[in-house]
A = this chain, B = another copy of it.
Amino acid sequence: MRQEVNAMSSSVGENLRVTIFGQSHSAAIGMTMEGLPAGFPVDMEKLNRFLARRAPGQNAWSTPRKEADVPEFLSGLAGNTTCGTPMTAIIRNTNTRSGDYSLLKKIPRPGHADYTAQIKYGGFQDAAGGGHFSGRLTAPLCIAGGICLQFLEAEGIRIRAHIAAIGGIPDEGNPEESVAEKEFPTLSDVQGEKMRALIAGKRAEGDSVGGVIECAVLGLPAGLGDPMFDGMENRIAKIVFGIPAVKGLEFGDGFAAAERTGSWSNDAFVPGEDGRLRTETNHAGGILGGITNGMPLIFRAALKPTPSIARTQKSVNLETGEPAELNVPGRHDPCIVPRAVPCIEAAAALAVTDALLGRRREINGRV
């Protein structure tokens, strides 16, 4: 069997570089972040509150696996203030149940990476709990992103995601409002109730359901991002598609723009504040040519249903090559979308911070 190696795939960023390490059942998971300026004070309590939004809870839509997920910082801080060198934080994996996963190398779960990892790593992957492909790895993503959210907030930039739809039930309201304090992060509590009911129904059926998350980045200066392959769309896409289950991404009008005309789609410029311009509409989602125009940056990510379901599924026994039936043991989220909302905020924060740190000093006072 051909042996493949891991590329630098678990690192991302040019000016802010984040590396995610760990497996679902390794000693720890964690992240290393390089590039954050020295002198930034991290609010640890605030960070932990942010991480709690991602953590599994005692509710109807998430796995009963419980872990405190409080990060330990190993480096990069002097006290709680960044000292300019690589910051590493880890979360110990304490509540592992390896026994649950003994079958995964033999009979791959549909919709999961078991089979593709088996091929890629020649059978040497750490299969327990999905290994490095586990949704649990979004916890270190949220450590990095949560710190960046604080960093951006100090710059006047706020990032606000909400559930835009679950199973086709749409949210309603103004995407610029924050739902960070809500247990179920929708703008409309009425619509949220409908979504909860749908999720509860799917759980009862041993099934799962997908959804869409919308994210607004507010307070961005104009001029952020780069042409061609490092536009804000490219940067955000590169990270957001790293969140398990994301299968689609659109900016501004996105796919709806494909059905429109230019006369409708072009956002007219009008005079704004401080000599900058604004646009009358925001079909572009705040991005022109990959670069922010000062309007809210708006994007939506589509998440497929959690592939772990409590039903019998068809697969193949890799040892015999014969068809096999699979009942996936373990703990499942009937809908990952609510817990993915802070992950989307974290991903956006990393992309925006990376772009922001790419702004260089004025050179010699010229220009």
Contact = CB atoms under 8 A, between A and B. Distances in A.
Given A242-B229, A289-B244, A124 B234 contact: no
A311 B39 CA distance: 33
Interface in A236-275: 237-239, 241-242, 244, 246-255, 257-271, 275
A7 B266 contact: no
Given A14-B7, A39-B366, A258 B289 contact: no
A38 interface: yes
Interface string A38-82: 111000000000000000000000000000000011111110011
Contact of A10 (B207, B229, B244, B248): B229
- Ranked nearest first, the 3 interchain pairs of A and B with the lowest CB-CB distance are A113-B289, A9-B226, A9-B230
A127 B275 CA distance: 20
Task: From A84, A225, A231, A309, name the one whose CB has the most chain B CB atoms within 10 angstroms.
Answer: A84
B84 A125 contact: yes
Interface string A133-168: 100010000000000000000111000000001111
Interface residues of A, number: 169
A186 interface: no
A345 interface: no
Contacts of A132: 75, 83, 85-86, 227-228
A74 B86 contact: no
> What is the copy number of this chain in the assembly?
4
A216 interface: no
B367 A3 contact: yes
Contacts of A306: 262
A348 interface: no
13 contacts: A8-B14, A10-B86, A21-B75, A30-B75, A74-B90, A84-B121, A111-B262, A116-B222, A120-B291, A208-B262, A244-B289, A257-B303, A269-B315
Contact of A357 (B72, B111, B305, B360): B360
A306 B260 CA distance: 10
